[in-house]
Amino acid sequence: MENNYLIPYLLLAPFIGGVLVLFINKNKENLIRYFGLAVSLIVFIISLIIYFDFDNADGGFQFLYRFSWIENLNISFYVGVDGLSLLLVLLTTFLTPLTLLSSWSSIDKKVKEFTFFMLMLELGMLGVFVSLDMFLFYIFWEAMLIPMYFIIGIWGGKQRIYASIKFFIYTMFGSLLMLVAIIWLAVYASSSLGYFTTDLVELYKVGPTVPKTIQNYMFLAFAFSFAIKVPLFPLHTWLPDAHVEAPTAGSVILAGVLLKMGTYGLLRFCLPLFPQSSISFAPAISVLAVIGIIYGALVAMVQKDMKKLVAYSSVAHLGFVVLGIFAMNLEAVQGAVIQMINHGLSTGALFILVGVIYERTHTREISEYGGIAKIVPIYAFALLFASLSSVGLPGLNGFIGEFLILLGSFKSTVLNNIWFTVFAASGVIFAAVYLLWMYQRVAFGEVKNPMMNELKDMTKREMLVLLPIFVFIVWIGIYPSTFLKVSEKTVRNILEQVETPHKAELK
C-alpha cells in the first residue's frame, strides 16, 4: 500500500510550528501571535487539500499512512481519514485559527506559552481524529489533556486550579477504563487472529465476535470514557466548571472540538466494535441523552453566569447528538454528525461573543447587563444570530441537525419508541426559553449599569473572527448537502457494521 504523506504533514505542521514558537523571543508578542496564526492557517490549508482530494463515494479510510512503531506488538503509527473524521478535522483546523485570533488581545501574558499550548492542543485533537491504531489513539487522547490542563490552569479565571484538576482527573479516570478494554481487546484478538494488534481496522473484524457478556463490559468501559467527554448526563459537572474558568480560546476549543471527541469515539469505536452491546444499550443511553436534553436546558435557564448558561446548553445539544447516534439509522446518525459540526460553530460563536464582552466589562453576570442592544448594535445582532442558531431556527444550521436527529429517532427500529423523540422535541422549547431570556436580559431593556454606556462595539478583528463562523451557520442551514455528502458513505459503513451481526443474530 502506498503511503500518503498528507496526514503526517497535517500533524507535523502544528508540532513543528509549536516547537518553533519556543525559539522566538518571548517579548516579541505580536510576532508570536502572527506566527501562531500563520501556522494554524497552514494546517487549515493542508486540511482543505485533504478535503478536496477526498473521495466522497468511498466511505472507507483514505490518505492512509503507516509507519511501524513497536514491531513486537504490531503497533504502528497508522493514520487516515474517512468522511466522519474528515469533517471533524476540518472543524478543528477551522476553529483553531479563529480562537487564536479571538485571543489576540485577551491573552496578554505568557503569549509564547499560550501559542505553544494551542498548537500542541491542535496536534492532539487532530491526532485523535486521524488515528487508526487504538494505541496511537489512546496516546493522543491522553496527551491532548495536557495542553488543555495548562490553558485552563494558567490563563483561566479565579477557580482555575480546581477546574483544571477536576477536568483532568475526571476525563483521565474514564480513559483508564478504556485503556484496560483496549488491551483486553488486543489480547483477545491475538487468540483469534494469531497475533497481537491494536490496528483498528483489524479489530473491527474481531470486536463483533467477542462473547456478549464480555462485549458488554468492554462496551461500557469505552462508553463510560466517551460519555464523560461528551458529557452525557449525569457525568457532565466537570464541564461548567471547566468552561467558566477557561479563557475564551479554551472554551471554544473545549466546546467546539473536545466534546466531539466523545461522540466521535462512540461512533468510531463503540458502535462498530461492539455492535450487539451497542444495540442492547441503545435505549438506556438514549434515556440519558433525552434527560440531558431537558435537564441541561432547564438548568441552563437559571444560570446567572453567561458562560455557565452556554456550558449547560452544550449538555442539551450533545444530548441530541448522542440520541442521534444511538437511533442508529442513516438520518439520525447523519443528523448527529452535522449536529457535532453545528454545535462547534454555534456554541463556539457564543463563547467568543461572551469573551468579547467579558474583555470589556470583566463580568459575565447576566444581571450586570441590560439594554446593550442600543449601545453596541453589531454585537447585539451577532449575539442574537448565534443564539438563534443554537435555538435551532430553520434557515440556520441548528435546525438541520435537530431535524434529522428527530426524524431518525422517531422511526428508529433500535429505539422503537416515539417518546424519545417527543421528549427531545420538547427540549427545543426550553432552548428558546433560556437563550431568548438571556438575550432579553443582556440586550433589551433600559441600560441600568452606567458602565455599559461606554461599551465599544465589536472591532474589525472580532468581526473577522465571527464572520467565517456565521457564513457556515447559514451555509449548513440552507444547503447542508455539501457537508452531509462527505460523511454519508462512512455513516452507511458504520451502520452496516452494526447491523450485520445483529441481523445474523436474529436469524
Taking the least distance from each CB to another protein, the nearer of 40 and 334 is 334
Q: Which of 176, 302, 467, 471 binds another protein (CB under 8 A)?
A: 302
Binding status of residue 437 toward another protein by CB under 8 A? yes
The CA distance from 70 to 201, in Å, is 17
Which among 255, 293, 305, 291 is positioned nearest to 430, based on CA atoms? 293
Binding status of residue 451 toward another protein by CB under 8 A? no
Stretch that binds another protein, among 63-71, 216-224, 255-263, 433-441 (CB under 8 A): 433-441
Binding status of residue 105 toward another protein by CB under 8 A? no
Closest separation in Å from C-beta 121 to another protein: 24
The CA distance from 146 to 123, in Å, is 12
Peptide bond into 234 cis (omega under 30): yes
Taking the least distance from each CB to another protein, the nearer of 1 and 57 is 57
Closest separation in Å from C-beta 301 to another protein: 4
Closest separation in Å from C-beta 486 to another protein: 13
Which pairs count as long-range contacts for 180-186, CB under 8 Å and 24+ apart, including other chains?
180/221, 181/217, 181/218, 181/221, 181/222, 182/134, 182/135, 182/138, 184/218, 185/134, 185/210, 185/218, 185/273, 186/134
**Which residues, other chains included, contact 188 with Cβ-Cβ below 8 Å and sequence gap of 6+?**
206, 210, 214
Q: Which of 113, 133, 331, 462 binds another protein (CB under 8 A)?
A: 331
Taking the least distance from each CB to another protein, the nearer of 185 and 300 is 300
Binding status of residue 172 toward another protein by CB under 8 A? no
Closest separation in Å from C-beta 75 to another protein: 32
CA 376, distance to chain mean position in Å, is 30
Binding status of residue 237 toward another protein by CB under 8 A? yes
Q: Which of 49, 330, 451, 455 binds another protein (CB under 8 A)?
A: 330
Binding status of residue 421 toward another protein by CB under 8 A? yes
Taking the least distance from each CB to another protein, the nearer of 68 and 481 is 481
Contact 178, 200 (CB under 8 A): no
Closest separation in Å from C-beta 304 to another protein: 10
Residue 495: in which H helix or E strand, if any? helix 481-506
| Burial class for 73, CB neighbours closer than 10 Å (0-12, 13-18, 19+) | middle
Q: Which of 18, 127, 371, 401 binds another protein (CB under 8 A)?
A: 371
Q: Which of 407, 415, 466, 498 binds another protein (CB under 8 A)?
A: 407
Stretch that binds another protein, among 19-27, 83-91, 141-149, 420-428 (CB under 8 A): 420-428
Q: Give the residues across from 365 on adjacent strands.
A: 305
Contact 178, 269 (CB under 8 A): no
Residues within window 262-291 making contact with another protein, judged by CB under 8 A: none
Taking the least distance from each CB to another protein, the nearer of 269 and 369 is 369
Binding status of residue 184 toward another protein by CB under 8 A? no
The CA distance from 309 to 301, in Å, is 7
* Exposure on the CB side of residue 71, measured as CA atoms within 13 A: 1
Taking the least distance from each CB to another protein, the nearer of 275 and 371 is 371
Peptide bond into 247 cis (omega under 30): no
Q: Give the residues across from 75 on adjacent strands.
A: 70
Binding status of residue 462 toward another protein by CB under 8 A? no
Q: Which of 70, 422, 471, 504 binds another protein (CB under 8 A)?
A: 422
Contact 400, 480 (CB under 8 A): yes
Q: Which of 62, 99, 164, 334 binds another protein (CB under 8 A)?
A: 334
Binding status of residue 460 toward another protein by CB under 8 A? no
Amino acid found at 467: L
Q: Which of 159, 395, 416, 461 binds another protein (CB under 8 A)?
A: 395
Stretch that binds another protein, among 9-17, 43-51, 234-242, 263-271 (CB under 8 A): 234-242
If DSSP codes are grouped into helix, strand and coil, which group holds residue 144?
coil
Binding status of residue 488 toward another protein by CB under 8 A? yes
Q: Which of 68, 161, 377, 416 binds another protein (CB under 8 A)?
A: 377
Extended beta strands in 186-325, E state: none
Size of the site for another protein (CB under 8 A): 54
Binding status of residue 440 toward another protein by CB under 8 A? yes
Binding status of residue 471 toward another protein by CB under 8 A? no
Stretch that binds another protein, among 4-12, 136-144, 352-360, 391-399 (CB under 8 A): 391-399
The three cell numbers of residue 49 are: 487539500
Contact 315, 239 (CB under 8 A): yes
Q: Give the residues across from 78 on adjacent strands.
A: 66
Q: Which of 43, 46, 261, 299 binds another protein (CB under 8 A)?
A: 299
Amino acid found at 204: Y
What phi and psi values does residue 26 have, to the nearest 5 degrees?
-65, -15
Give the C-alpha distances (Å, rounded to integers) separating 7 from 12, 48, 93, 118, 122.
8, 11, 13, 19, 13
* Footprint on this chain of another protein (rule: CB under 8 A): 166, 169-170, 234, 236-238, 295, 298-299, 301-303, 329-331, 334, 371, 373-374, 377, 388, 393-395, 399-400, 406-407, 410-411, 421-422, 425-426, 428-430, 432-433, 436-437, 440, 443-446, 479-481, 484-485, 488, 492
